[in-house]
Structure 1
Amino acid sequence: MLSLISHGGSEGVTGSCHELVYAPGKSFLVDCGLFQGAEQSSHGDTANAKVLNIDFDLSQVQALLVTHAHIDHIGRIPYLLMAGFTGPIICTDATAKLLPLMLEDAVRLGVTQDRRLITLLIDKIKSLMVPLPFGVWHRLDEQVKLKFKRAGHILGSAYIEVDLAQPQPYQQGGQIGQVKRVIFSGDLGAPYSPLLPNLKPAYACDLLVLESTYGNRLHQGRRFRTQALKAVIEHCVRDRGVVLIPAFSLGRTQALLYEFEQIIHQHGGDWENIEVLVDSPMANEVTRIYRELKPLWDAEAQRKLAQGRHPLAFEQLTTISDTQSHQQVVEYLQRTARPTIVIAASGMCTGGRIVAYLKALLGDPRTDIIFCGYQSPGTNGWAIQRYGNKQRYPQGYVELDGQRYPINAQVHHLSGYSAHADQQDLINFVKRMRRPPKFVRLVHGDTQAKSVLANKLRETLPGLQVGYDGDFL
């Protein structure tokens, strides 16, 4: 009987790692991500404890399939290798370019600074990687073939279609059915995301393993989110303050640059005098790779290129890489509060250069902080978002590196910039299949998001078997 086992990402939004056992003694993994925020604490916070997260038998695992290069989907790959995995790491061509870069940074920050060891590890990972183009079937063995389809989440992101040679019985929620086609959604993107072609639903499947990050929410449309972003920036300029945007180096930073180039191009005037700083060596390197991968950009971005515009390299953009320049900029902005947009990692404020800006500018009421992505409970970003609500917490503060910092800055959340599909997008992905699934497994979401989405899916497609969390047996 076909069985699906979760080793992370079934009861939260990080640590994604799912195993499909498709024959006696044979399985494959989909993603192997790192736990973050409160979920990290519950799984152990030291390097040794993280290694113990690979506490499942690898003897039957034939391959690792990777949906995309975000750390919550790839961050445990080094530990997987340390636990003895030597199989292929199969991903899209674009993910193959981004994954080593992301893992090298994660290992350097979280495991070791030893350059030789890092190089050996990354070289080993590269040697196992099998890059595939979108839409081409790849045979894993005589029983399984797979292909990647565009997911629209970040560049290179994919949902994975898995075809079994023979239908296999599968049980969920007391119901047994035959399964031949399985789809793992990975993280699905929102429509009209900058640079990314929209995802197209699959034709059919029997079992769908579906993310549910925003299963209980609807995002703002692109026009409204751009207007909201523009309004916050203009407010900050009037206040003569700094705009801080904590952003993931991969995906979110590039989407924001695309939007700022568009706003500057459309409105000109004072906007042409606003400096946009990207203070993140990782984000700058990822942006370079994004520019290399222009053939994967969507039609809108291709038209801009044809017009001679540069969505990721415009005149008002300044990139900062070296530590000395970073420190000088933080001190200068603290001293002058000159109107400047600063984009820096990490996206949840758990580390990286954004922390130095927060320490320097959180107490200044002229500062605006814009969150444009999910903030996992237990992270600094979650705390700032929560305790920056002046009506509920007039004396709100956050602890950074063991010291309290008052939150006098104005805190904003723009949900429309999420790289994740919202509730309606997720429902559309399911119902627009020509042959909808018999079974849906909800993963990568908190309990409320999964519960709400499960009910919505059952209402939309009566008779659909939807399960999550403890049903993963």
Structure 2
Amino acid sequence: MLSIKHHGAVHGVTGSCHELFVDEQQSVLIDCGLFQGAETSSLGATADHLEIDFDLSAVQALIVTHVHIDHVGRIPYLLAAGFTGPIYCSKPSATLLPLVIEDALKVGVTRNKSIIDACLERIHEQIVPLDYQEWMKIPMKTETKVQLRLSRAGHILGSAYASFRVSNEAIKLQNKPYHDVVFSGDLGAPHSPLLPAPKSPHKADQLVIESTYGDRNHEDRSSRVDRLQQSLERALSDSGTVLIPAFSIGRTQELLYELESIIHKNRQKPVSHTASGVQLDWQDLDIIIDSPLANRFTQVYQSLAPYWDDEAQSRIAEGRHPLDFEQVTTIDDHETHLQTVDYLKRQTRPAIVIAASGMCAGGRIVNYIKALIGDERNDIVFVGYQAAGTPGREILTYHDKDDGYVTLDGERFAIKAQVQQISGYSAHAGQEDLLNFIRRMRSQPKRIHIVHGDDQAKLALKKCIKKEFKGVEVVIPDS
């Protein structure tokens, strides 16, 4: 078996970073993401201390599975630490990655344009866009041969799982031509909006698999859409505002896609009544996307429509605009953002607001929550995972307590708004989906590393794997 060091996503679901040693002197790095909330690396990196805390001398290349910040947010620190090798990713990710890094630098590091431009120039120089399902040789300094193939992961646009085919002297001594290692990245749930479902690789000697929802299953797609509609109808019935914290890339576009579908089917059906008794139909509902980054990503998503799935393509053919329909208002500048927050605090017309960040750990959603969480007419609807130590997890944990509150920017805010969670709307695979990813391999792994999950989720998935796949070694790394 090949040696793997896990530099992140070991004690939780953020900071994904794994180092595969292809021989004793050389390695490749898979992802290099930010830590969020209370999660840390084994060497001490945290959400506030992001400098690279591990030796880079062996690293020959970086592979990006997808561009969520918890998988790519430390890339500027990687470059600053001296990494000059190629950065391999899918072609859609190559388009999206510079936008994510630019935003991460502006929000968390600096607004100095020359520093940002220098970092982005480095990324453009080092990035190597790959087609899905094509083998690519990664240059090595020794006789070791390493090939990489990216396959669709169904998580966000451009997401991939990475397959490595390694041949070195130690492997040849075992009378094997090569050794296959697969890193799942983040796998999507089947039938996610816009994206084809992931298909398992033919084989893997070693598999590194995520376990975000390793202890539970998701509802099917139609049930998720029905629950979203029912949740919104209930939330909007008293003319309040519905706040949906969502990451700028992936989740926001999926929500827009599903909201367009709900509105298309129910255009002239009532969703609410205003304080003066006027009926409000679905087609009249205000949907506010308050995130400059999300708006940029949505435009890029539309430009990458050839990578959408067949269902989305058919909607386009019908003349529909799944990500850009008339009920949507986008907000870019900060002044309009503050005016909108104040308006919604005073108004009695129902509206839906989608804003980042998805875990309420920063971004414009924080101002909305501060202004609206104290009014019981309003609702906060979570559609994604909330990591330990984030305000989102606090709201979920304490909203049903008599004295429940959340701390934002050092100030306590009583939770009076209604709080709902639609966990089935996650872009992550559920337990059965993760097991299916293994089942559908023609030749199943000899060793499985379980990462990217809370302890309970990892242990539950390990138990299921051990029960079904006899003789497989299952490892839960602790560092």
Q: TM-score range, shorter-chain basis?
A: over 0.9
> What is the rounded CA distance, in whole Å, between the counterparts of 1:266 and 1:213 in structure 2?
33
Asked whether the equivalents of residues 179 and 207 of structure 1 are also in contact (C-alpha less than 8 Å), the reply is no
Pairwise CA RMSD: 1.7
Greater Cα shift, 80-89 or 159-168: 159-168
> What code does the residue aligned with 2:408 have?
L
- The residue number in structure 2 matching 1:216 is 215
Count residues with an aligned counterpart.
459
Equivalent position to 1:165, from 142, 167, 172: 167
User: What's the secondary structure of 2:208's corresponding residue?
Assistant: strand
> What code does the residue aligned with 1:7 have?
H
Equivalent position to 1:438, from 427, 436, 446: 446
User: What's the secondary structure of 2:61's corresponding residue?
Assistant: strand
Matches for 1:15-30 after TM superposition, within 5 Å: 15-30=15-30
Mapped pair 1:334 → 2:336: no
Greater Cα shift, 154-163 or 218-227: 218-227
> What code does the residue aligned with 1:109 have?
V
Shift in CA distance, 40/277, structure 1 to aligned 2, threshold 3 Å? farther
Asked whether the equivalents of residues 365 and 408 of structure 1 are also in contact (C-alpha less than 8 Å), the reply is yes
> What is the rounded CA distance, in whole Å, between the counterparts of 1:36 and 1:450 in structure 2?
19
- The residue number in structure 2 matching 1:174 is none
User: What's the secondary structure of 1:39's corresponding residue?
Assistant: coil
Greater Cα shift, 405-414 or 158-167: 158-167
Asked whether the equivalents of residues 2 and 168 of structure 1 are also in contact (C-alpha less than 8 Å), the reply is no
User: What's the secondary structure of 1:72's corresponding residue?
Assistant: helix
Asked whether the equivalents of residues 278 and 319 of structure 1 are also in contact (C-alpha less than 8 Å), the reply is yes
Equivalent position to 1:462, from 447, 452, 470: 470
Greater Cα shift, 226-235 or 420-429: 226-235
Shift in CA distance, 167/92, structure 1 to aligned 2, threshold 3 Å? farther
1:240 CA displacement = 0.8
TM-score in terms of structure 2 length = 0.93
User: What's the secondary structure of 1:144's corresponding residue?
Assistant: strand
Asked whether the equivalents of residues 10 and 41 of structure 2 are also in contact (C-alpha less than 8 Å), the reply is no
Greater Cα shift, 191-200 or 10-19: 10-19
- The residue number in structure 1 matching 2:77 is 79
Mapped pair 1:426 → 2:426: no
Asked whether the equivalents of residues 167 and 180 of structure 1 are also in contact (C-alpha less than 8 Å), the reply is no
User: What's the secondary structure of 2:39's corresponding residue?
Assistant: helix
- The residue number in structure 2 matching 1:144 is 146
Equivalent position to 2:128, from 104, 120, 130: 130
> What is the rounded CA distance, in whole Å, between the counterparts of 1:126 and 1:140 in structure 2?
18
Asked whether the equivalents of residues 168 and 180 of structure 1 are also in contact (C-alpha less than 8 Å), the reply is no
Asked whether the equivalents of residues 90 and 160 of structure 2 are also in contact (C-alpha less than 8 Å), the reply is yes
Asked whether the equivalents of residues 239 and 348 of structure 2 are also in contact (C-alpha less than 8 Å), the reply is yes
Mapped pair 1:307 → 2:326: no
Asked whether the equivalents of residues 38 and 46 of structure 2 are also in contact (C-alpha less than 8 Å), the reply is no
Greater Cα shift, 456-465 or 258-267: 456-465
> What is the rounded CA distance, in whole Å, between the counterparts of 2:267 and 2:474 in structure 1?
50
> What is the rounded CA distance, in whole Å, between the counterparts of 1:138 and 1:179 in structure 2?
15
Matches for 1:224-235 after TM superposition, within 5 Å: 224-235=223-234
> What is the rounded CA distance, in whole Å, between the counterparts of 1:274 and 1:384 in structure 2?
26
Matches for 1:64-213 after TM superposition, within 5 Å: 64-141=62-139, 143-166=145-168, 168=170, 180-213=179-212
> What is the rounded CA distance, in whole Å, between the counterparts of 1:182 and 1:15 in structure 2?
21
User: What's the secondary structure of 2:33's corresponding residue?
Assistant: coil
1:126 CA displacement = 1.4
How far does the alpha carbon of each residue in 1:98-129 deviate from its partner, in whole angstroms, 9 at most, with x for none? 11111111111111111111111111111110
Equivalent position to 1:56, from 50, 54, 57: 54
- The residue number in structure 2 matching 1:374 is 385
1:220 CA displacement = 1.5
- The residue number in structure 2 matching 1:289 is 300
Asked whether the equivalents of residues 45 and 53 of structure 2 are also in contact (C-alpha less than 8 Å), the reply is no
Asked whether the equivalents of residues 12 and 446 of structure 1 are also in contact (C-alpha less than 8 Å), the reply is yes
- The residue number in structure 2 matching 1:384 is 395
User: What's the secondary structure of 1:214's corresponding residue?
Assistant: coil
Shift in CA distance, 57/227, structure 1 to aligned 2, threshold 3 Å? same
- The residue number in structure 2 matching 1:173 is none
> What code does the residue aligned with 1:149 have?
S
Shift in CA distance, 45/202, structure 1 to aligned 2, threshold 3 Å? closer
Equivalent position to 1:395, from 398, 403, 412: 403
Greater Cα shift, 91-100 or 140-149: 140-149
> What is the rounded CA distance, in whole Å, between the counterparts of 2:194 and 2:335 in structure 1?
32
How far does the alpha carbon of each residue in 1:414-450 deviate from its partner, in whole angstroms, 9 at most, with x for none? 0111000000000000011111111111111111111
Asked whether the equivalents of residues 369 and 409 of structure 1 are also in contact (C-alpha less than 8 Å), the reply is yes
1:23 CA displacement = 1.5
Matches for 1:251-270 after TM superposition, within 5 Å: 251-269=250-268, 270=281
User: What's the secondary structure of 1:264's corresponding residue?
Assistant: helix
> What is the rounded CA distance, in whole Å, between the counterparts of 1:387 and 1:338 in structure 2?
28
> What code does the residue aligned with 2:96 have?
L
**Structure 2 unaligned spans of 5+:** 269-280
Mapped pair 1:343 → 2:341: no
1:55 CA displacement = 2.3
> What code does the residue aligned with 1:35 have?
F
- The residue number in structure 1 matching 2:277 is none
* Percentage identity across paired residues of the two chains: 53
Asked whether the equivalents of residues 275 and 316 of structure 1 are also in contact (C-alpha less than 8 Å), the reply is yes
Equivalent position to 1:272, from 283, 302, 308: 283
> What code does the residue aligned with 2:217 have?
L
1:236 CA displacement = 2.4
User: What's the secondary structure of 2:157's corresponding residue?
Assistant: coil
How far does the alpha carbon of each residue in 1:307-354 deviate from its partner, in whole angstroms, 9 at most, with x for none? 000000011111110111111111111001320000000000011110
> What is the rounded CA distance, in whole Å, between the counterparts of 2:128 and 2:41 in structure 1?
33
Shift in CA distance, 444/360, structure 1 to aligned 2, threshold 3 Å? same
> What code does the residue aligned with 1:137 have?
W
Asked whether the equivalents of residues 23 and 168 of structure 2 are also in contact (C-alpha less than 8 Å), the reply is no
User: What's the secondary structure of 2:22's corresponding residue?
Assistant: strand
1:232 CA displacement = 1.6
Asked whether the equivalents of residues 240 and 366 of structure 1 are also in contact (C-alpha less than 8 Å), the reply is yes
User: What's the secondary structure of 2:8's corresponding residue?
Assistant: coil
Shift in CA distance, 399/83, structure 1 to aligned 2, threshold 3 Å? same
Shift in CA distance, 326/87, structure 1 to aligned 2, threshold 3 Å? same
How far does the alpha carbon of each residue in 1:289-322 deviate from its partner, in whole angstroms, 9 at most, with x for none? 0000000000000000000000000111111101
User: What's the secondary structure of 1:163's corresponding residue?
Assistant: strand
> What is the rounded CA distance, in whole Å, between the counterparts of 1:271 and 1:209 in structure 2?
44
> What code does the residue aligned with 2:379 have?
D
**Structure 1 unaligned spans of 5+:** 171-176
- The residue number in structure 2 matching 1:364 is 375
How far does the alpha carbon of each residue in 1:121-170 deviate from its partner, in whole angstroms, 9 at most, with x for none? 11111111001110111000351001100000000000011111358569
